[in-house]
A and B are shown apart, each in its own frame.
Chain A
Amino acid sequence: NAGVTQTPKFRILKIGQSMTLQCTQDMNHNYMYWYRQDPGMGLKLIYYSVGAGITDKGEVPNGYNVSRSTTEDFPLRLELAAPSQTSVYFCASSRSGGGVTEAFFGQGTRLTVV
């Protein structure tokens, strides 16, 4: 029962490089999210998706892009890495519909931009 899987776990990037953070879930959840976590700031929403082909910006989308071609996958793209993007990134998913639906989180990707 894998849940939400993120790769890589750690990465060091140089300023200006690009990379893709991978996220996949096997729970058939419609909703998927990308958050970044900075010390003392809680988690801030970068982008989210309510289903394949549908994405929308969260609170802090600048410098990032996403796509959602399948229900399972929700990659996050950094095009021109900047030191301000040094953070821990979490992918999450939840089911849609009524009721109290919690989110399930991956283990995180720790990114350092130098």
Chain B
Amino acid sequence: AQSVTQLDSHVSVSEGTPVLLRCNYSSSYSPSLFWYVQHPNKGLQLLLKYTSAATLVKGINGFEAEFKKSETSFHLTKPSAHMSDAAEYFCVVRPSWGGATNKLIFGTGTLLAVQP
């Protein structure tokens, strides 16, 4: 079965320092991968998606993610955190084969806190 694991439930950084949110997936084939962000009491917004065109994916608000097939990872990074980045982040996989391609599988989320 395909799955996604977010390795940290909470991450706290200081404003202006780098952000790293870790995600590992399990899949027999290269899946489609996404990062979504959810601000408090809001819906989910797409940050970026892996399209297989490039392993380094750029998203909105300065976020990036690198697809590493050998490590089955898709970690989310940002060089410099801003207070407005405080939110919950979800790594999501869409299987690329079989009858499950119409489903999205969510990680359990990482809550990012940004300290002034």
Contacts and interface: CB of A to CB of B under 8 A. Distances in A.
Contacts of A41: 108
A96 interface: yes
B74 interface: no
B51 A100 contact: yes
B43 A42 contact: no
A43 B106 contact: yes
- Size category of the binding interface on chain B: 20 to 34
Contacts of B44: 90, 92, 105
B107 A106 contact: no
Contact of A103 (B42, B104, B107, B108): B104
Given A100-B50, A102-B34, A31 B102 contact: yes
B95 interface: no
Given A42-B107, A42-B109, A45-B103, A106 B43 contact: yes
Interface residues of A, number: 26
Interface string A87-114: 0001010101001111111111000000
B90 interface: yes
A58 interface: yes
Given A48-B103, A107-B43, A102 B49 contact: yes
16 contacts: A33-B103, A35-B106, A40-B9, A40-B108, A41-B108, A42-B109, A45-B103, A45-B104, A92-B44, A94-B104, A96-B102, A102-B46, A105-B43, A105-B44, A107-B42, A108-B42
